[in-house]
A and B are shown apart, each in its own frame.
Chain A
Amino acid sequence: AQSVAQPEDQVNVAEGNPLTVKCTYSVSGNPYLFWYVQYPNRGLQFLLKYITGDNLVKGSYGFEAEFNKSQTSFHLKKPSALVSDSALYFCAVRDPNNAGNMLTFGGGTRLMVKP
């Protein structure tokens, strides 16, 4: 079975400081990993994904994430946070070895960036 965990319900960071939103996963093989962001009363918006290749993935709005197989992690990072980055962030995983599996989402992490 596949699963994903976001250990922090909320992350607080000051504007201009670097931010990290943590994600760990569990799959039987090599995972497909995704990050989505959700603003209030909106749908999920795709940020970036890891399928294969370079462990450092760059995405939208200056976000990036690093795939770490040994730690089974895919943490989302940004060098300098903006107030407008405040939103709900979801990590998601899919096990490509299981054709029936769809995406499994983590519980979400609320990012609060303060001026």
Chain B
Amino acid sequence: DAMVIQNPRYQVTQFGKPVTLSCSQTLNHNVMYWYQQKSSQAPKLLFHYYDKDFNNEADTPDNFQSRRPNTSFCFLDIRSPGLGDAAMYLCATSRKTGEETQYFGPGTRLLVL
């Protein structure tokens, strides 16, 4: 089945230690998104890629970076995680933007010690 896969499902890191979260998709969608979700709140968009074009939200901290080496994979890098970065990180894809439905992965829950 076509899907959005996130690894790992749970990630524990230490304060200040860089961490990378992974997302892959078999949908062959053009757009990939990274969201941060805290405590069952609304997901907050961090950035998205339309093909290779990177689009950062204005209020996304510099501590968060992303890479998309090919259509299938997208990575979220947190350079120096703080306690406030503990959250669920959701990856989503869509064929294009606009009216297109976004399809979400299961999420990675990040714990910062």
Using CB atoms and an 8 Å cutoff, list the residues of chain A in contact with chain B: 32, 34, 36, 38, 41-46, 49, 51, 88, 90, 94, 96, 102-103, 105-108, 110
Contacts and interface: CB of A to CB of B under 8 A. Distances in A.
- Nearest 9 CB-CB pairs, A to B? A43-B104, A105-B42, A44-B104, A51-B99, A43-B106, A43-B107, A32-B99, A43-B105, A107-B42
A94 B42 contact: no
B107 A42 contact: yes
A103 B98 CA distance: 9
Nearest to B42: A105
Q: Which of B88, B90, B104 has the most CB of A within 10 A?
A: B104
5 contacts: A32-B99, A34-B102, A42-B106, A44-B90, A110-B40
Given A96-B98, A102-B48, A46 B103 contact: yes
A76 to B, nearest CB: 16
B40 A34 contact: no
B41 A43 contact: no
Contacts of A45: 104
A74 to B, nearest CB: 14
Q: Which of A34, A44, A88, A94 has the most CB of B within 10 A?
A: A44
Given A102-B45, A103-B45, A46 B102 contact: yes
Nearest to B107: A43
Contacts of B105: 43
Nearest to B91: A43
A71 B98 CA distance: 23
B80 interface: no
Contacts of A32: 98-99
